[in-house]
Structure 1
Amino acid sequence: MLKLRSIYNALAGNNIGSLPVFSNYKNIVSFYGTTTRKNITTISSLKSNRKDKSQYTQRDKPYKEDSKRVNYIKTKKSLYGGDLSSTSSFKKPYKEPNEIVDKNIQVERIDQLTTVYRSKNKFNDQLGSDITGTGIAFQRLNVSKVLVETLKEMGISVPSTIQQLTIPEILKGGNDILFASQTGTGKTLTYLIPVIQSIKKAEELETAKNEENSRLPRRPRAIILVPTRELALQVMSVAKKLSHKVKFSCTTTSSGGGDLLQYLKMYKSIPIDVLISTPGTLIKLIEEEEIFFSKLQHLVIDEADSMFTVGKGFDEEIKQIVKPLESRFKNRKSEGFPPLNAIVCSATLTEPLMKVINEFFPNIQKYSTPTIHRSINSLVQKFIDIKGGGDKHAALLHAITTGQKITKKNNNDNEINLENDSTIKQQAQKRILIFCNSPNSCRSTEYLLTENDYNATSLHGEIPAKRRNANWKEFLNGDKNILVCTDIVSRGMDIPDVDHVILFDFPNNPIDYIHRIGRTARAGKHGVVTSLIAKYDRPLSNIIQNAIKKGTSLENLNKRINKLL
């Protein structure tokens, strides 16, 4: 706790005594109306030359601290454990003169314990149901007409920024590609579109050459690696939609019973063009000689920040997978084999992650959007401080009840409150995600909700595979409208109609915060995130809130925290 406190003080500017601010020459420095001339080299020496402010006068009047600032400080103290009785009624917080707030960020204090952040910026990266086009923008990226028509049927006619940057580069071939963008900006389609188009092109060339056995079982043309079975099923569902007009076969292999077992049998019996798998299952196929790479053209690694995290991700498994392909990556035009390239994508891109990726793919080309590591514009972020030893479960129940007080734009571009529209309110209450940091916390929270007659289920790593699949289907089908989960759901999952995400347990770092809040306000939609802040969460919470106010990158914040740890 002391360490976290020191980190917060350092980032807040309270621990800068030895930082040089002036050169070694004479400067005129004014203290409380009195001017002195000193040789000042550091802030520490500046402070040492300052006398008691009570000795100074300002225009021949005794020094008196600004009354607004006094009330602000009293209020701030009350929020962090001070005496509420000594604080006047709370209205609007006083903004310190030196406090920097981004002009596009609106900060509201609902009450003494709740702070809300909204973005005034309307940019949504060409996403949303109201964004329509003819599809010509995709054609300019060299996407085939058949795929463009398929995308239009899916309601997608204008490419996002990351799609405009990356799709043409993947279609060119010959290079390994790394791309990163905000959550909910269409990264899955960013790699699926060019991968499928290049697979079909290779098939056409083989047909023109009258090559036999161009499609064989257990010889996929593209392998997509994802960290969880839930994400594998999601990517497969998107690929299936694309296959309606562009004829290709795809399936997924992962541990677990039910449909996953059937998909594995399908993979072994019929030709599969695109295989979506988790690393552990793919290694089993390699060891059992159930997969061959002679036709492989693309190796896609999705959610790279989960896959390459040393000691916590799948870095060792990926080494085993990449090792048989090393010679083909080095000699892309090997005789008798199609060209092979790697595609890596992520919602975050830190320096340690980039270092690991470069070890696997030294010449990889990087593409990212300017909005990476920043909050989504259509997202409302609410922070609720749990005072002292306050009841966190009671705060959760209150957050679920009041969380639907979100706004959206009507046809006249005016804000309307969803709480006042019964139809919209019912729709907004369909799905709520509640994040916890451990399976035990998930279990206790699910029990609390079911005891209070909420229709809830849970998802975490300690649930058996069959039960986990059943819980996931219940939530997706609407049989359960609240899902209590760990970070197993925070990476890459695109769950429709999630309007409210609650962080019951606050994440341990800014990157996890980015991923959790990215489960709502996706594809241009509006959403709310409510964070419950306990005493030990305040240092990190204050740092994140400060970054949101200033509109700065949370990845840079994560970098500074790591340096101080």
Structure 2
Amino acid sequence: MSKYYDNRKMGGERRYRRVVTPRKQQSSRFNQSRSTRREGQSSKYYPEENEVVESNYDQLHESFDLMGLKDDVLHGIVSHGFEYPSKIQQKAIVPIVKGRDVIAQAQSGTGKTATFSIGALERIDPKLNKTQALILSPTRELAQQTAEVVEDLGEFLKINVHCCIGGVPIEVDMKKLRNAHIVVGTPGRVIHMMEEHVLKTKDIKTFILDEADEMLSRGFKEKIYEIFQILNSNVQVVLSSATMPSSVYKVTSKFMRDPIKILVKKEELTLEGIKQFYVDVENESWKFQTLLDLYKVINVTQTVIFCNTKEVVEELKYKLNEEDYTVSSIHGEMEQEQRNVIMKEFRSGSSRILITTDLLARGIDVEQISLVINYDLPTNRENYIHRIGRGGRFGRKGVSINLITRYDLEVLRDLENFYDTEIEEMPKNILDYL
């Protein structure tokens, strides 16, 4: 049983309050919620998935050499450090290369970005200095990261890749888009460049939505529809994400033609290399002291802490700075230049703790992350998988720790049920998992 305490001076003396309920009490309380949900009762915390959509494609190509790729593309793959294709790469690259519409789902950290990047690069004609592939991402940070992957993999093709995102001077886009073979961007800036007739769409033959479930959510859906209205009617469409709610398929039926579906059952979405734990702090006000107690025990290279609002992000950063921790924070309302600096500092290791909202839950890859802490449980199931997937990427070992109150117990068990996984009480020997 974990031993974490809330230290407070009350009435002139220091008192210790245990913030982890004894295992016996927890097991009876938690097991009751488990049994209730497994009898088929609907979740009252997250919307139910009523429709089961299954894969319709199982062909494998177990070597990059067997995929019929150009020598220059293969050279880029090897130079990028890939030796053997991951499971999603074995299945999805060839259909993308052949021009099929593809829905590609795979666990976080298994090479989805490289999958659609290789597919897009193979379809590019380097001699045609026109935009031929458009890749959309939900955040600027993810778009920048994706553009870097495409550039690295396409190093020997002699093509131009441009990252088209907000926060960058319009003049830069207007210059770079003139001869960009592949454009990676966020919806708002991409639409603006299309409307200004700076981003030409005549020769775009591949359209890729990264983090597709997020891109087709209510926040982006209208913008994505608007882009589809501008693109050629015969454009190839590729969707990629770790999570694909059934609601996504209803939307895709409007603009995809007989898509190949490469899907993962929800109970297989959690990565084997990520150990999931919880600490029951009982009350919201005891979370911070519990976090401090955690940091007295653990010593990891870098940590990402997820909160649900920017207000909590900033408050937590202030408190940790007061305790002499080197902390960075990032959320969507920051200027792009500031966000770039923060991410650069975190990647370099000069900042060891990054506190963020779900802005960074999807796709961001920092090799040194071995610990993810959910200061707040996410507001939807999909983001739970994306959050914990920031650690344990590409087979590396990772740990996620959820700080929960008494009101979060049912939510935690709902996540367990949905993903058919075990989120255990954090053990004494937590260091053995890091």
* Contact 2:174–2:198 under 8 Å retained in 1: no
Q: Give distance in 2, aligned partners of 1:444 and 1:550.
A: 32
**Residues 294, 549 of structure 1: alpha-carbon distance in 2 compared, 3 angstrom cutoff:** closer
Task: Work out whether 1:192 is the aligned partner of 2:100.
Answer: no
Select which of 286, 297, 304 maps to 1:402. Answer: 297
**Residues 176, 549 of structure 1: alpha-carbon distance in 2 compared, 3 angstrom cutoff:** closer
| Cα displacement (A) at 1:324 | 2.1
SS at match of 1:281: helix
Match for residue 515 of structure 1? 386
- Considering only CA atoms, is the larger Rg found in Structure 1 or Structure 2? 1
Q: Give distance in 1, aligned partners of 2:345 and 2:409.
A: 35
Task: Work out whether 1:251 is the aligned partner of 2:157.
Answer: no
Comparing 273-282 with 234-243, greater Cα deviation is found at 234-243
* Contact 1:457–1:484 under 8 Å retained in 2: yes
SS at match of 2:372: strand
| Cα displacement (A) at 1:187 | 0.5
Task: Work out whether 1:235 is the aligned partner of 2:162.
Answer: no
Task: Work out whether 1:290 is the aligned partner of 2:198.
Answer: yes
| Cα displacement (A) at 1:538 | 1.2
Q: 1:470-493, CA deviations, whole angstroms, 9 ceiling, x for partnerless residues?
A: 222222222211110000000111
Query: Which amino acid letter does the alignment assign opposite residue 488 of structure 1?
Result: L
Task: Work out whether 1:318 is the aligned partner of 2:224.
Answer: yes
SS at match of 1:380: strand
Mapping 1:14-33, distance limit 5 Å: none
| Cα displacement (A) at 1:291 | 1.7
**Residues 263, 481 of structure 1: alpha-carbon distance in 2 compared, 3 angstrom cutoff:** farther
| Cα displacement (A) at 1:244 | 2.4
| TM-score normalised by the chain length of structure 1 | 0.62
* Contact 2:270–2:421 under 8 Å retained in 1: no
SS at match of 2:413: helix
Match for residue 209 of structure 2? 301
* Contact 1:223–1:300 under 8 Å retained in 2: yes
Query: Which amino acid letter does the alignment assign opposite residue 354 of structure 1?
Result: Y
| Cα displacement (A) at 1:265 | 4.7
Query: Which amino acid letter does the alignment assign opposite residue 511 of structure 1?
Result: E
Q: 1:87-113, CA deviations, whole angstroms, 9 ceiling, x for partnerless residues?
A: xxxxxx9x99x98xxxxxxxxxxxxxx
SS at match of 2:295: helix
Q: Give distance in 2, aligned partners of 1:169 and 1:512.
A: 28
* Contact 1:182–1:371 under 8 Å retained in 2: no
Q: Give distance in 2, aligned partners of 1:136 and 1:373.
A: 21
* Contact 1:137–1:159 under 8 Å retained in 2: yes
Q: Which has the higher contact order (CA 8 A, sep 6+)?
A: 2
SS at match of 2:395: coil
SS at match of 1:523: helix
* Contact 1:167–1:191 under 8 Å retained in 2: yes
Select which of 336, 340, 343 maps to 2:238. Answer: 343
Task: Work out whether 1:225 is the aligned partner of 2:131.
Answer: no
* Contact 1:379–1:529 under 8 Å retained in 2: yes
Q: Give distance in 2, aligned partners of 1:443 and 1:80.
A: 34
Select which of 88, 93, 106 maps to 1:181. Answer: 106
SS at match of 1:499: strand
Percentage identity across paired residues of the two chains? 30
Where do 5+ consecutive residues of structure 1 fail to align? 1-73, 83-92, 100-134, 205-213, 333-339, 405-427, 553-565
| Cα displacement (A) at 1:78 | 3.8
Q: Give distance in 1, aligned partners of 2:282 and 2:159.
A: 57
| Cα displacement (A) at 1:374 | 2.3
* Contact 1:300–1:342 under 8 Å retained in 2: yes
Query: Which amino acid letter does the alignment assign opposite residue 502 of structure 1?
Result: I
Query: Which amino acid letter does the alignment assign opposite residue 322 of structure 1?
Result: F
Query: Which amino acid letter does the alignment assign opposite residue 462 of structure 1?
Result: E
**Residues 262, 139 of structure 1: alpha-carbon distance in 2 compared, 3 angstrom cutoff:** farther
| Cα displacement (A) at 1:542 | 2.1
Q: 1:5-41, CA deviations, whole angstroms, 9 ceiling, x for partnerless residues?
A: xxxxxxxxxxxxxxxxxxxxxxxxxxxxxxxxxxxxx
Q: Give distance in 2, aligned partners of 1:488 and 1:307.
A: 13
Match for residue 139 of structure 1? 65
Query: Which amino acid letter does the alignment assign opposite residue 173 of structure 2?
Result: L
Q: Give distance in 2, aligned partners of 1:546 and 1:136.
A: 33
Question: When the two structures are aligned, how many residues end up with a matched partner?
Answer: 377
**Residues 279, 548 of structure 1: alpha-carbon distance in 2 compared, 3 angstrom cutoff:** closer
Q: Give distance in 1, aligned partners of 2:98 and 2:283.
A: 58
| Cα displacement (A) at 1:372 | 7.0
Mapping 1:54-453, distance limit 5 Å: 78-79=25-26, 137-173=63-99, 175-200=100-125, 203=126, 214-215=128-129, 219-257=130-168, 263-268=172-177, 270-310=178-218, 313-325=219-231, 328-329=232-233, 332=234, 340-369=235-264, 374-388=269-283, 391-404=286-299, 428-429=300-301, 431-453=302-324
Comparing 390-399 with 187-196, greater Cα deviation is found at 390-399
* Contact 1:139–1:145 under 8 Å retained in 2: no
| Cα displacement (A) at 1:397 | 1.6
Q: Give distance in 2, aligned partners of 1:375 and 1:136.
A: 23
Q: 1:26-72, CA deviations, whole angstroms, 9 ceiling, x for partnerless residues?
A: xxxxxxxxxxxxxxxxxxxxxxxxxxxxxxxxxxxxxxxxxxxxxxx
**Residues 403, 509 of structure 1: alpha-carbon distance in 2 compared, 3 angstrom cutoff:** farther
| Cα displacement (A) at 1:169 | 0.8
| Cα displacement (A) at 1:151 | 1.8
* Contact 1:162–1:368 under 8 Å retained in 2: no
Q: 1:232-260, CA deviations, whole angstroms, 9 ceiling, x for partnerless residues?
A: 11011111212322221101111114xx6
Comparing 508-517 with 147-156, greater Cα deviation is found at 147-156
Q: Give distance in 2, aligned partners of 1:238 and 1:451.
A: 38
* Contact 1:184–1:522 under 8 Å retained in 2: yes
SS at match of 1:458: strand
* Contact 1:180–1:372 under 8 Å retained in 2: no
Q: 1:278-330, CA deviations, whole angstroms, 9 ceiling, x for partnerless residues?
A: 000011112212121122121111110110012xx3100011110022xx32x
SS at match of 2:334: coil
| Cα displacement (A) at 1:497 | 1.1
**Residues 550, 78 of structure 1: alpha-carbon distance in 2 compared, 3 angstrom cutoff:** closer
**Residues 145, 460 of structure 1: alpha-carbon distance in 2 compared, 3 angstrom cutoff:** same
